Amino acid sequence: MISEKLSKEKEKAIIDAARMRFAHYGFSKVTMEEIAADIEMGKASLYYYFPTKESLFYAVLTQEQNEFIQEMEGIFVSKLSAGEKLLEFVNKRLFFFQHSLNLGTLSFHSFLDTKSFYKKIFMNFEEKEQDLINRIISEGKTKGEFEKKLNPKTGTVLLHILHGLRIRTLRRIKELNNNDETINELRAEMNIAVKIFIKGISK
């Protein structure tokens, strides 16, 4: 029992150290040796917990995704309207998207490459996004904010709109070299799109 607890603590320490490294230098520039040194662990011990840098990065992303889900769970129990919750979802999800850019994980080509390591991570997360949107829409219908007889794919359409805007941003970031301005434009466009969407499904 104690050994299992220590293993979990070591695993968390590794993930926390890797998270800081990736955020500061980007995925491609970080080495496993540097992460091991940060927590004063032998490289062999680090590879025992995470055999590859990709597996460690997956753990970092999974932790961040779980934190995003927990934040959204807090919003679900708030007194916000369903429409306001959709806007909160968009803005919190955008923060997560921007952080992924800072980690050096996203590019237009890697996002579209079906064999890409990054693509697989975000495809898994897409299912959680879809569930969150569907829950908000369902709540809006139950409370009488949204039309009762919405097409079952309404939430999927919204998710596809948001994904399309993100992909456009990935294209432009390489071209403009001004991430902050581009992200601000994306935030504005997403909020416009969601407000139009909310108006379209409201009673």
1-51 CATH choice from 1.10.10.60, 1.10.10.10, 3.10.180.10, 3.40.5.10 = 1.10.10.60
CATH for 58-201 is 1.10.357.10
Delimit the domains of the chain by residue range: 1-51, 58-201
146 strand-pairing partners = 202
200 pLDDT band, cuts 50/70/90, is very high
**Does pLDDT of 113 surpass 90?**
no
Task: From 114, 86, 116, select the one nearest 191 (Cα to Cα).
Answer: 86
Q: Is 50 helix (H, G, I), strand (E, B) or coil?
A: coil
Query: Could you give the CA distance from residue 61 to residue 153 in angstroms, rounded to a whole number?
Result: 28
Tokens 């890697």 label which residue?
110
62 pLDDT band, cuts 50/70/90, is confident
202 strand-pairing partners = 146
What percentage of the chain exceeds 90 in pLDDT? 46
Query: Could you give the CA distance from residue 183 to residue 180 in angstroms, rounded to a whole number?
Result: 5
Q: What is the pLDDT of residue 107?
A: 46
| Tokens matching residue 155 | 């939430």
